Structure 1
């Protein structure tokens, strides 16, 4: 009996040591993973503010909190478990699912570009239609749903990359890294989004007469700078949707994946130019793909 108990304790001790050793590797794996997903994190940060701009300023932080909460829930309770299950039972399905998400990003990005440049976009509905269509509360709800939907796709890419990075590690390391990356990226992205959206309020506070002249000048500069910056960020966010969506699809097709890789290799002597070329090619490809998807969607709607 004593011998069996000692053997059991030895097994428990070995398991604890193995778990501790694997957990020691978590910071390195988190660092490695965040480096790989940094581009998507930047895209997510650029995309989100446009969903908040134009709404009641007093509701901005509340809206960002709602989006961030849903984003974290999606990462922890839906996407991460789905990645584990698919990785175990159907690893072949991960890439097609991500490509569908990429196609949706291209479609949504194209619709936003079309809305920007269509001369007749503003005349599609009469003023009376606009007045009776939506209330501020409904607009807020629509914006939150749209932001969460876009974030879901970007988060799925982040989770997929994270899982692929730690797939060969012990299960404790996989779970810990997935957890840390989900929380860290959500906090960083929406922390920056909150700072960007409320920067004009910070500038107004700094511009008050009670502050030092230099502080007031900086505050006034922030207030003048932010409207143009937010508009620019909106364009960057739309371009990012096209870029990321097309790149997700390209990586799922061997021919296009090799073509992007060869483009980077050809310009490897100038890393910034190689990155820019890949972004431009991906964004243009995403725009074309979004156009084609939009035509298919219109055809299907007419049929049904």
Structure 2
């Protein structure tokens, strides 16, 4: 009777098939895959309606438009994974830009202006993180109050007017390399660094642990208070970077230049699969989220849809993402 044992070729084929099945399982279990599929489907539909949407000029324009919001979204992603949230980012960007624009017009060295802008954002975020963590206050309420404070200070500084840069400090926001805007490279670089931190460092593992359960993280040896302050500081660094890019791109410092940015970044993070309760979120998901919202806005402009309807669509997209996320959590 012939042997029924597997031949080496059969074994190799079986192992290859098993590897493909495991890879497929990992792919389709990822929460980012449904968003990626939806994004591709949306792009195909819009391209059929308006072929100009896929022009190189428009693709470059979309990436430039989402770069500032994308940088802040990565910071917001780290915050939300850690169980925190920041409603003040829009007016903190505006305040930092007004401060830097004022210093620019005093003809101070660019290095001093960069340090001042980043230092201001990091310092204010560290203060917010310390108050919230030490006094065990709700981040939502505290940052809502800070949003009003930052807006008031910016309005007092400028008397409600814009501060023109007179063609100074243009390279960061308007420069190009290989015909691609520099802010796009900065955004992609921030994404890569954040991905590496979350996937391959102790800080990244602690971020998820703190967001999932503060007590458990504390028992595991994490100084939760110190760690949260570090997260706020890192977020502040990205906010300061975004403020510099936005100011350079539009050529002014204005107290209202980033109004509504907090809604856009939180929406992108949630659409990307992060849980507002903490402990869940990915850089790739947030990247897709900010890109999806940016493409929706851009495509609606191209086909002539009113901005008012765009706000309504944004609201439905965010609610849909929250519902989908809650259902996924119930099943898991």
TM-score for the superposition, normalised by structure 1: 0.33
More helix by share: 1
> Which protein is bigger by CA-based radius of gyration?
1
TM-score for the superposition, normalised by structure 2: 0.31
